[in-house]
Structure formats: C-alpha cells, structure tokens
Amino acid sequence: MVILTHGLVQERFDADPSVLGEAMRMNSRPFTIVGILPEGFRFIGNQDPRLLVPIPFTPEQRTVESLHSNSWQMIGRLAEGASLEQARSQIDALNQRLIDEWPLPNSRQVLEDAGFHTQVHPLQQWLVRDIRPMLYMLWAGVFFVLIIGVVNIANLMLARSNTRMGELATRFVLGADRRRLMGQLVTESTLLAVLGGLAGIGIGAAGIRFLETLGADQMPRGTEIAISVPVVLFALALALAAGVLFGAIPMLQVSRTDLGGIFRDEGRTGTAGRTTMLLRSGLVVGQVALAFALLIGAGLMFSSFRKVMEVDPGFQPDNVLTGMVNLPGEDYPNDEEIRAFHRQLLRELSAIPGVEYAGLANQLPFSGNNSSSVVIPEGYEPQPGESLLAPRTNWVSSDYHRAMGIPLLEGRYFEPSDDAGSEPVMIVDEWLADRYWPDESAIGKRMYMGAPGMSEEDIQYMRIVGVVGEIEFDDLASERSFGAYYMPLQQDEMTYTQVVLRTRVDPTSVTSAVRSTVARLDPDLPFYGVETMRGMIEDSLASRRASMLLLMVFAGVALFLAAVGIYGVLAYTVSQRVRELGVRMALGSSTGRLFRLMVLQGLKLVGLGLVIGAAASFALVRLIRSQLYGVQPADPAVFGTVAVLLALVGLVACLVPARRASVVDPVVALSPE
C-alpha cells in the first residue's frame, strides 16, 4: 500500500483522482495506491516526502533485543481528557517492564547508569526547540524597529504640530468645532499612515523572496511563510492606529496649551516650549538606545557566525560530491549480491574522468542521517554509575576516508581485503582513542558492540587498525562529542548507502556521469539526493545565517532611523532658535562656537542614548545567548565597535544642522517680520 501526496499526484498523474486503487512499482516492488493526502498536508519537520508507505515490522524487529534501535521517531495523539504527564507516566511504566525483560543479567544497572528514558514533548514545542531563541530574537528586532519608527513619526508630528500651532489656535478661537478640526487632522495622518502601510506590505511581500534566499525554508514550516490575509489586516490595523494616534497630537497640544502663549510665541518665530523640546530630545535618546541594543545583537551574531565559519570540520569538504543509492531487497536478497554490486559500483565510479577517490558510507556528516551504538573495549569494566558511551557508528568502504579527506593519525585506512572472510576490524577517531587509551596506542586493541554482561559466545570483537581525526557530524558549533568509529562496509553490507566522490574538477560536473554509471549497472536504480559536501555544510548554517542577516537588516534600519531622528531634532531646534542664534552672533559669538554648541547638543543625546542602550542590550543578548558561539555576550570589541559606529553616525547627523546654525545672519534673524 502507498499514500501519495497532493503534489505528486499533480506532477506524475495529471491531478487524476482515479489513480486510487491503481498499482505502481517502487524499488522493484508492487504497491497499491490507497490514498491521496490533501493539498495543505505538511510532513513533520523539514522533510518533504512525496509518498508514504506503512512500516512492516518483522517479528525479529519486535523482540526486546531490537528495542535499542534509535532509527524511529514516534508521534501520538493524546486521548480526550488525557494529560502529557499521564502519557509520560504510562511510557515510563512500559520502559520499566521492558527493562526487566531484557536478556542481560545487569541490564537495569546498565540502563539506569546511562540515564535511559523516553522523552515526551508537545509536538509544537519539539518542532521549534532549536529555533525558539532565534524567533524571540527576531520578534524583539521587529519590535525595536517598530518602536524606533513610531518614535520618529511622533517627533515629526510634534514638529508639524508646532509649526501649525498658530493656525490651529486661530481656528479654534474663531469658533471652529473641535471635532471637525480633529477629524481633519486625523484624516490627513491616517491617509498617510495607510499609504505607508500599503507600501510596507508591498516591501514585505518582496522581502519573502529575500527570506527564501536566506534559507528560511530550512526552518520548521518555513516553506509556508507568506503574506496572508491576517498579516495584511494586522499591518493595516497597526498603520490605522498610528495614524489616529499621531493625528490627535496637534489637537491635544492646542487643547492643553495657553492660547495666549501660543500667539505670543508665534510672534517670535514660533519658538517651541521647553516641555516639547525635552519630549523630542527624550524620544531621540530612546531611538539611539534601541538602535544600540539592536546593533549589539547584530554585532554579536555576526562575530559568532564568523567564528563558526572558521571551525575546521575535521575533513576537506571542497571538491566532494555526494548522493544516495538504495538497493531494493527483492533484487538484492543476500549480502554477496550487495557486495558484488558495491565493488562494481566503486570500480566504475573511480574510473570516471576527474574522480580522484570514490567511497560509500551508510551515513555522511551534515546529512541529517546518523547512528550511534554502544561500543566497549575488551576487558573494560565501567565504574558504578558510569554511563556507557554510544559513539557515532559508520560502515564505510575502503576509500571513504580518503574521499572525505579525513586525516589518518595512526595505523592504516581500510583496505579492499577487509572483507567478510577476514578478521573484523574497525577504525576509531582520536577522541575515542584518547578516552579509552590516553597513554598508549589504540592500534591492535579490540572492542565489541553491546553491553557488559554479554556472554562470550555473543560477542564479536573488532580489532582497531587505524586512528583518524575527529570530525563534526551535524553542527560546526557543536561542543559535545562522544567519538566515532568506523567499520568496513564489506564486512556488514547494507542496502542503503551514500556515495562520496572526491574530484579534481568541479564536483557537480560529474553528476551526469555518475547517474549514467548507476543506470548502466542497474537501470531501475536512481542516483538521488545529489549535493556537494560544501553545500551540505552551508545548509546546516542556514538558520544561523538567516537570523544573523535579518538582525543586521533590522539594526541597519534602526541605525538609519536613529540618524534621521537626531538630524530632525537638531534641524528643528535650529529653526526654532534662529532669533537666539542671531542674538549670539550679534553679541560676538563666533561661527565655530555656534557650530560646536549644536554638535555638542546632538552628541549629548547620542551619549545618553548609548548609556541607556548598553543596559537595554543585555536584555536582548539574553535572547540570543544560546545562538552565540565563541563570543561572550558582553564582548568588549563588539560593544566598543557599535558605540563608535553609532557615535560617528550621530556626529554626521549633527553636522548639517550645526552648519546651518553657524551661518545664521543676525540681521535677518533679528529683523521684524
């Protein structure tokens, strides 16, 4: 039986629903199409399967001895009225019963020392477990930019209301209806806000494509990110609320201000009140503080990403092509046929022009596929309470390490002679060798897979013939390791293998030749999942890169808005202090002194904002602490660089208004209007 996805039916069956009940072949096996998934169905996680087949567990797989397999993930729906705690209790009870059925005499002690348990999590919590801090960080970035933008609009509306104060006060004392005046102002600001909101929605729609280039599709449900109706309505509602709020500011000022004072100020070139200027200056300080916090977050993320990119994965990823070949069990029913195919495949692949080494493995680093199994040195007795190690396990061909560029530190690599007829051998990585033999060579030592207490008849020892360098398997920023060991593929064949080719040319240029080679050996076999090893590493950094770039975009916007705010306040201050500046010039003040006066006023706002922003930045850093690698949250280089950058931007924003203030003509400034 097989269930098809909506997309596969659209692509391969011309959207014909009558395919239900029809037969199809897959991996040389016949299947009957029994269902079609709805269009909106999405598989859990980042995978995108095209069809689903049932799992036919064999009686052997259902035995207690096989329950150690970690190749499956389970999902269940709670019964109505049941709680997560009840589910945990039931699963824990099931585990306890299974432990007692385990055939080893000391199984309970071994599993308890290892901390064996089943983790039960809500699905939504499990899906976002790795990106929750990043999402919080991005929400904080959006919020900070929104607040900075609102503050800028508030400053502009305050300036606009001050310039229109005389007009509004005149209309008010002549009997204009307050509601009518407020309606006019609110209509003007609301219209501007809605137009700005519509423009923002358009920019946001274009930004979705930008998110795709950043790797947003690698996030849980990342492929579903889109401008939806609720998003549009929320954006318009936010713009409408801002328009109404800021449109009401001038009327509130008129209603609460002495009209006589307004007319007197109007006669003196509309000098703004001290309270208004303090409010505007305070808003600018807030802008600088928020921009500082965002820039700190972006700077830390950038430094962290740079550190991650400098990490040596332990192998040479350049010029390496990977792909998968899956042998159907019906066509390759025994190990000898599988071995024969693999030997022929490796010979053919090695003969392709441009290929230097060809290897096979049952898993590759950064592929999302991994396996771990307990391995114990011969004669080793764990201490009471000591957990058994389960290093990464990999079955590989003789040239795998050469194809991957994993350095040999001691002993030898696998050879073609390490086959089913020879002594079982293994290669361990440096971490595992140092863990068990810190003061001696691991070469020649023997290990076995299993657990203490196994009978000698059930143990198969493997002799260590080589020690290789430690590599990163899933994440360049990983700081934990339990080692890795490798076994010859020819001694324990598997139908599922991944191809590794080291080339002397562009690795993608040999893809067609590889597909032709596989098809020549077996026309029914596809060579799929083709990707370069460098590309796989890049994919593993997608979410980290996306969060860094988005935060840097937010920080750049915040920096620009803060500069505009500083410029706006100083420019407006100059326009309101023309008469005062004219008096200073008339009394002998120099151009340079007035220039320094205005620059100093702007830099005071910037300095106060930096101090407040330094404190606020620690709140944002708490959200990204788990995303940082090789960088301290209070990194002095980042804080110093951001402070200097923001101070320089603030200085540049001060220059034009300060220059304008220094060239005020006292005759013009003091002449009656």
Long-range contacts of 107-110 (CB under 8 A, 24+ apart): 107/451, 107/453, 110/382, 110/388, 110/451, 110/452, 110/453
Closest CA to 452 of 115, 109, 118, 116: 109
Q: Are residues 288 and 379 in the same domain?
A: no
Mean pLDDT across the chain, nearest whole number?
Answer: 80
Other CB atoms closer than 10 Å to residue 149's CB: what's the count?
19
Q: Are residues 170 and 121 in the same domain?
A: no
Whole-number pLDDT of residue 62? 73
In a domain, 351, yes or no: yes
Q: Are residues 562 and 612 in the same domain?
A: yes
572-600: string of b/e by CB count within 10 Å (b at 16+)? bbbbbbbeebbebbeeeeeeeebbebbbe
Give the up-direction half-sphere exposure of residue 517: CA atoms within 13 A in the CB hemisphere. 21
Min mean pLDDT across 77-81, 94-98, 515-519 is at: 94-98
Question: Average of pLDDT values for 369-383?
Answer: 82
Q: Are residues 434 and 506 in the same domain?
A: yes
Question: Average of pLDDT values for 572-601?
Answer: 72
3-state secondary structure labels for all residues of 542-599: HHHHHHHHHHHHHHHHHHHHHHHHHHHHHHHHHHHCHHHHHHHHHCCCCHHHHHHHHH
Closest CA to 620 of 144, 102, 156: 144
In a domain, 651, yes or no: yes
In a domain, 57, yes or no: yes
Q: Are residues 41 and 142 in the same domain?
A: no
Q: Are residues 118 and 141 in the same domain?
A: no
Closest CA to 440 of 410, 469, 485: 410
User: Each residue of 135-169: pLDDT tens digit?
Assistant: 777 777 777 787 777 777 776 766 666 666 666 66
Whole-number pLDDT of residue 265? 52
Q: Are residues 262 and 191 in the same domain?
A: yes
Question: Average of pLDDT values for 518-523?
Answer: 91
Q: Look at the chain and report how many structural domains it folds into.
A: 4
- 579: CB partners within 8 A, 6+ apart: 268, 269, 271, 669, 670
- Which domain-ending residue is among 11, 44, 63? 63
User: Each residue of 179-195: pLDDT tens digit?
Assistant: 777 777 778 778 877 88
In a domain, 318, yes or no: no
In a domain, 87, yes or no: no
Domain holding 35, by residue range, is 1-63
In a domain, 85, yes or no: no
Q: Are residues 122 and 144 in the same domain?
A: no
| Torsion angle (degrees, nearest 10) of CA 210, 216, 218, 222 | -120
259-263, 264-268, 287-291, 342-346: which is most confident = 342-346
In a domain, 258, yes or no: yes
- Which domain-ending residue is among 524, 559, 590? 524
How far apart CA 4 and CA 477 sit, in angstroms, is 38
- Cross-strand partners of 497: 325
User: Each residue of 390-438: pLDDT tens digit?
Assistant: 889 999 999 999 999 999 999 999 999 998 889 999 999 999 999 999 9
- Which domain-ending residue is among 127, 144, 168? 127
Is 360's pLDDT higher than 90? yes
Whether the CB-CB separation of 631 and 303 falls below 8 Å is answered with yes
55-69, 105-119, 345-359: which is most confident = 345-359
Q: Are residues 111 and 138 in the same domain?
A: no
Q: Are residues 558 and 613 in the same domain?
A: yes
Q: Are residues 115 and 1 in the same domain?
A: no
Question: Average of pLDDT values for 310-328?
Answer: 91
Q: Are residues 121 and 247 in the same domain?
A: no
Residue with tokens 């969060």: 547
In a domain, 416, yes or no: yes
Position 58: which residue type? T
